[in-house]
Structure 1
Amino acid sequence: MALITLFLLFAVLSLTEVGAQKNDSNIIALGSSLSPKTNSSSWVSPSRLFSFGFYPHDNGFAVGIWLMGEPEGTIVWTANITNLSNSSDSVELTKDGQLVLRNEKQMEVVAVIAKNASEPADSTSMLDSGNFVLYSKNRSVIWQSFDHPTDSILGGQNLSQGQHLISANGDFILNMQTDGKLFAYPVSHERENSAYWDPNTSQLDDDSQLTLNLTGFLCLGSYGGNIKVLAKSSNHLGRNTSLIIYRATLDLDGIFRLYVHTFEKNNNTGFTSQIIVWQAIYDQCQVNGFCGMNSYCSDVSGKGECKCYPGFRPINGNKNKNKNKNKNIFLVCEQIIKNDCITSGPGMLYSVRNPLQHMQWGLQ
């Protein structure tokens, strides 16, 4: 009974937070727009901690939500748009209630951002929870970013069955399956037997979901009352702290981590710190797919480092150089001398090298 009460309390707190912000939100009216080339490049939450709009990405711009207070901000959601935007694009809440990305030069709609909204929107708002919502005329929510997570969930948000998180580089996926099981595996091997992390959900009901509540509990639970607590933050509000925000993210290295962001009253910038309070795996080399073809992972001072096998070298233009800050992630190597079949007389030429010590082979 205590577990059931605890789980229901998590749900009530989350719903209360999202619902209560309707009265405190900045309402964006029909016809409003954003553009990366103007001062109106984002819509900000009432607390000014979250923003929705354009942010620089590679050689263009992406549309998403970020947590303010840091020099570059922390991206917590990205719109599902195939191509990067440029400075001539704009996000517009059209007069007919559609949230779209528009190319101003060609005067055409490039993408519909909230394509599965239940009805045309009457307004929109960036909430203090980090949830971006579209409202109907009677102020009910008809679409919200919380229902379409990308690589993160925030306090008050769930990862329901059939939903997943994908790391920002597109290499790893955390899947909340329809059978109530949670698995992390590389996108290139999207199947259970390639999973490198499984929080042992076999004892949970088949209606389980992943929940991060407002006080830092990261749980797997069901409405039947079975709960598995993955993480419980030990951080507490201090005397000068005005707000704590929790974020659980599938990071670039494929590891699922829980972060806490603190904001204090006596700080000019408002932002105080970002701390990792839990992570699913502590050895990056345990992540299946961390290294690429013909490379292996070596633990160096607690960090995974990908190296080429003897007789191989890195391939120029490895995708990791563009997609990850750590250039050693997903290193792809090629054979230095490519000889399919070299013979000399009756025998085949070959060389013997010193064996690699202490190697462990995982699933490929």
Structure 2
Amino acid sequence: MGPVSLFFLVLATAAPLFSAAQGFGYPTANLSTLWINNNASLPHVHYRGGLAVRPILLRSQSNKYYSQSFATGFFCAPPCDKFYFAVFIVQTNADTRIVDGNPPVVWSANRARPVRENATVELTSDGELVLRDADGSLVWSTGTSRRSVAGMMITNIGNLVLFDLMNATVWQSFDHPTDALVPGQSLLEGMRLTASTSATNWTENQFYVTVRADGLYAYIVSAPPQIYYMAESNDNKEGNDTTKVTFMNGSLSIFVDPKYQDMNSISLPTARATQFMRLESNGHLWMYEWNTGEETWPAVYDVMKPKFGDCGFPTVCGEYGICTGRKCTCPLQDNNSSGYFKPIGGPEESLGCTPLNPISCQEMQQHRLLTLNEVSYFDLSDHIMNETNQDDCKQACLKNCSCRAVTFRFYQNETEGYCRWVTKVFSLQSIKFEPLDYNNSVFIKVQLGPSNSAAANNSNLILGTTIPAIIIVVLLAIAVTLYLQRRAYYDKKDEDFNFDQFARMPARFSFQKLRECTQGFNKKLGEGGFGSVYEGKLGEERVAVKRLESARQGKKEFLAEVETIGSIEHINLVRLIGFCAEKSQRLLVYEYMPRGSLDRWIHYRHNNAPLEWCTRCRIILDIAKGLCYLHEECRRKIAHLDIKPQNILLDEKFNAKVADFGLSKLIDRDQSKVMTVMRGTPGYLAPEWLTSQITEKVDVYSFGVVVMELISGRKNIDNSLPEASSNLINLLRGKARDNQLSDLIDKHSEDMLSHQEQVIQMMKLAMWCLLNDGCQRPSMSTVIKVLEGVTSIESAILNRFIDANSVMPVQDNISAYSVQPQASTLSGPR
């Protein structure tokens, strides 16, 4: 039985399941309609190669014997164990029955989260289109509940629309494009197409195309994103006019409101049959056209053609690879050095190159620039440094660790040039044989390693090996003796120390007492970079005992710190009960928090039920109050410097308390005087760690990150996700730009989704806290006023967050990496 006959048979058995206005073959559906993703409930068509569709709505474009029609429903690719709710192009006959021909998908609601057999899609009585997996979990929705929706239809150009009683559009798939465009579809300013990871993995990858005020741009994701294609408009936009790019027959046209005069066009082949275009995983925007004779969709035109052809695409030779014609090579200094990069994979794979020694910000004195003459770089972004001569351009890059390469271009008969920098190096292009009116060089930052320094150190190495072993033994013996004498001196000094000089000390415990109360440090609650925490019991009270490791200060300094922390008391700060300072042992005794740290409840590490929205709101307010006390109500400001879910503890009623404030000073006294490089936990660090003085506003930034983790139910940095969505804050900026903030709400919690408007307002507060400029972030007292409804968020905050450059400017001197703190008591990472 062929696929057409099979379809007729299934359609006959499925017909009673649909009313006249709801069934397959009709372009519309009414409210309160439920579709189940299985063969018994929906008509289904299987294609050659294993593709299958289960359509629910069909819009036939003509009554021809064969024509291309748009349908919406469930789609799967082999082995068909994952399904997508999508809009796809199908071939139909004069009876509007689907016939053979591979159906390309032009829009998908759940590309990052496919569903299984027996998943459902429902147009609810409230007017919301909802997709749920087979277990009932919410996967996606239009968010149009109670917005006067009267029905749903698929239009004759492939737009899935929810409409009201006046036939006005309430929601449409064209407002939420994925990776494809169909004729008649427009991308408005701020919208984007994002490529899939591969033909079989539909999650978003690092390429996207978007419309800006002055035209169409293609980017590859980095920090900041890098432009590899642009089609600018012919005139400057004025006022609040909206730029849009429309796919038309024979052109991709750039328009501006309100007159919609054609400002610029990208010429395309005139259509002979149905067309669509898709942003592919390699960054190409290909146009496809139906070939009736072969019943296929061949690629007929590459819409974006960089100046240097395929070599102008960012990943054609992988990271650091140099493209020359169709050949990829690794960078060589003046074509005679091979000591810095090695190819990834085999010689024919073109997977890129990897540095032999990764760049280390702790060893900036070992950074050098590899000179690549007659080489160009695709990036067209405006990351131009002020330096106008080549030497200054190179030195500026060497002084900033985030700079990974600079390009310097100067035109003939000119003495000055243009210096651009990048923070991530993708493919480069050889321009040796190109007829150009300019010269261009690329300088790639490399890290010197042992092999690079061998020649300079050979004589010293030979000399060193001749030193008699007896001298080394003697030196080691002297060092051990001095160490033991010094330790004995400080132990005796500690024993003679007078505790009475500290007036406000918490309880003091002996080491033996704390060993007994923890049953020999038997039950570990957690550990960090500065020690481990154990559960204990003092009398009837449960406690948490933190045993510090590698403490380098004397008892006097330790006790001074304990006195300071012990005097700080607030309902939203974890209470210090006591301490132990006995010889080299340093321990702290805290109140016990039975619910543990916040991360276990929002990252679902223990298969726990999702927190309700009201609980999350209370936790956010508790954190804000604890930080406000440290910043504004203590005798001296205390900047925590490592706010993250692991340092937020919860009591039995899910009241939140900030933990580990002030403890880094107990470990390394010098760090309270001079900041070296950056401190804290990656993903929670404010941008000013690189370039400016540190204030308590770094905690405000970290607070914003924690708020977003609470809202989304995921980690800020999650490398298990595709690169394009692995960074939550970058993803937030993109969703805010596309007006898709609801996509970030924790899908585990239906309660969160039912409070969507309140959650989005909380996201806007997080955006305020996440501004790159620390001076523009709110104080924690202002945050509390917003949370309590006393103060509203400034209307311009969202735009400032969206437009922010995610990389701070290049600094002129190395002092950006060794910052003197202001008049705050600086805490640090745990």
The answer to whether TM tops 0.5 is: yes
Which residue is 2:29 aligned to? Answer: 28
The equivalent residue for 2:138 is 109
Aligned pair in 2 of structure 1 residues 360, 249: CA closer, same or farther (>3 Å)? Answer: same
Quick check: 1:133 aligned with 2:168? no
Q: Which runs of 5+ in 2 are unaligned?
A: 1-24, 43-53, 61-67, 92-99, 198-204, 332-337, 360-370, 380-424, 426-830
CA contact (8 A) 1:167 1:254 kept: yes
Look up the SS of the partner of 1:203 in the other structure.
coil
* 2:193 is the alignment partner of 1:165: yes
The 3 A distance-change label for structure 1 pair 298 and 38 is farther
Q: For residue 246 of structure 2, what is the amino acid of its counterpart?
A: T
Q: 1:51 aligns with which of 62, 71, 82?
A: 71
| SS of 1:42 mapped into structure 2 | strand
Identity %: 21
Residue type at the aligned position of 1:261: W
Q: Secondary structure at the match of 1:66?
A: strand
Cα distance change on mapping 1:298 and 1:46 into 2, 3 Å: same
User: Match of 1:149?
Assistant: 177
Structure 2 counterpart of 1:230: 266
Q: Which residue of structure 2 aligns with residue 347 of structure 1?
A: none
Hey, what does 1:286 align to over in structure 2?
A: 312
- State the Cα distance separating 1:291 from its structure 2 match: 4.4
- Matched to 2:34, the amino acid is S
Deviation, 1:79, is 1.1
Equivalent-residue separation in structure 2 for 1:219 and 1:203 (angstroms): 14
What residue is the counterpart of 1:78 in the other structure?
108
Deviation of the 1:218 alpha carbon: 1.6
Which of 310, 314, 331 does residue 344 from structure 2 map onto? 314
SS in 2 for 1:195: strand
Count of residues in correspondence between the two structures: 294
Hey, what does 1:195 align to over in structure 2?
Answer: 227
Distance 1:162 1:289 in 2: 24
Aligned counterparts of 1:291 and 1:104: Cα–Cα separation in 2: 42
Q: 1:145 to 1:361 in 2, by over 3 A?
A: closer
Relative distance call for 1:273 and 1:287 in structure 2 (3 A) is: closer
Shift of 1:228: 0.8
- Conserved 8 A contact 2:157-2:183: yes
1:70-125: CA deviation from partner (whole Å, max 9, x where unpaired): 754212112156422122422222233221111333x343321x225781533212
**C-alpha distance in 2, partners of 1:64/1:76?**
8
Task: Say if 1:287 and 1:219 are closer, same or farther in 2 by CA, change over 3 A.
Answer: same
Return the index of the structure with the highest Cα Rg.
Answer: 2
Which residue of the partner structure matches residue 212 of structure 1?
A: 247
CA contact (8 A) 1:36 1:90 kept: no
Partner of 2:158, secondary structure, is coil
d(CA) in 2 for partners of 1:119 and 1:339? 54
Query: Can you list the C-alpha shifts for 1:296-346, whole angstroms capped at 9, x where unaligned?
Result: 44543xxxx766677635379xxxxxxxxxx958x35546x7799xxxxxx
1:254–1:290 Cα contact (<8 Å) kept: no
Contact 1:76 1:151 (8 Å CA) reproduced: yes
The alignment status of 1:95 with 2:115, answered yes or no, reads no
Cα distance change of structure 1 residues 272 and 357 upon mapping to structure 2, 3 Å threshold: same
Following TM superposition, by how much is the alpha carbon of 1:285 offset from its aligned partner in structure 2, in angstroms? 2.1
- Separation (CA, whole Å) in 2 of partners of 1:279 and 1:288: 16
Secondary structure of the equivalent of 2:33?
coil
Q: Match for residue 8 of structure 1?
A: none
Greater shift in the superposed pair: 63-72 or 147-156: 63-72
124-133 or 277-286: bigger deviation? 277-286
Deviation at 1:53, TM superposition (A): 2.1
Q: Is the 8 A contact 1:100 1:111 kept in 2?
A: yes
Higher relative contact order (CA 8 A, sep 6+): 1
Q: Is 1:255 the counterpart of 2:277 in the alignment?
A: no
In 2, distance between residues paired with 1:77 and 1:61? Answer: 13
Structure 1 residues 93, 291: CA separation in 2 closer, same or farther (over 3 Å shift)? farther
Q: Return closer, same or farther for 1:334/1:50 CA change in 2, 3 Å cut-off.
A: same
Q: Contact 2:71–2:88 at 8 Å: present in 1 too?
A: yes
1:230 corresponds to which letter in structure 2? I
- 1:188 match: secondary structure: coil
**How far, CA to CA, are the matches of 1:189 and 1:289 in structure 2?**
16
Give 1:124's aligned residue: 152
Q: Note if contact 2:275-2:288 (Cα within 8 Å) is conserved in structure 1.
A: yes
Q: 1:362 to 1:133 in 2, by over 3 A?
A: closer
Question: Take 1:119 and 1:33, find their aligned partners in 2: how far apart are those partners?
Answer: 22
Structure-2 change in CA distance of 1:83 and 1:275 (3 Å): closer
Q: CA contact under 8 A between 2:116 and 2:134: conserved in structure 1?
A: no
Alignment-derived partner of residue 348 in structure 1: none
1:184 is matched with: 218
Distance 2:210 2:287 in 1: 17
Q: 1:111 to 1:312 in 2, by over 3 A?
A: same
1:62 aligns with 2:84: yes
Structure richer in helix, relative to its length: 2
Corresponding residue of 1:19: none
* Superposition deviation, residue 155 in structure 1: 1.1
Length-normalised TM-score, structure 2: 0.32
The alignment's TM-score, normalised by the length of structure 1, stands at: 0.67
Where does residue 351 of structure 1 map in the other structure? Answer: none
Aligned equivalents of 1:339 and 1:251: distance in 2? Answer: 30
Distance in 1 between residues matched to 2:104 and 2:138, nearest whole Å: 28
Q: Could you tell me how far apart the structure 2 residues matched to 1:25 and 1:231 are?
A: 35
Specify the alignment match of 1:42 in structure 2.
55
Could you say if the C-alpha distance between residues 128 and 196 of structure 1 is closer, same or farther in structure 2, counting changes exceeding 3 Å?
A: same
CA–CA distance in structure 2, aligned partners of residues 328 and 357 of structure 1? 25
Aligned to 1:346: none
Comparing 272-281 and 126-135, the one that deviates more: 272-281
Secondary structure at the residue paired with 2:311? helix
Deviation at 1:360, TM superposition (A): 4.2
1:323 maps to none
The 1:154–1:288 alpha-carbon spacing in structure 2 relative to 1, beyond 3 Å, is: same
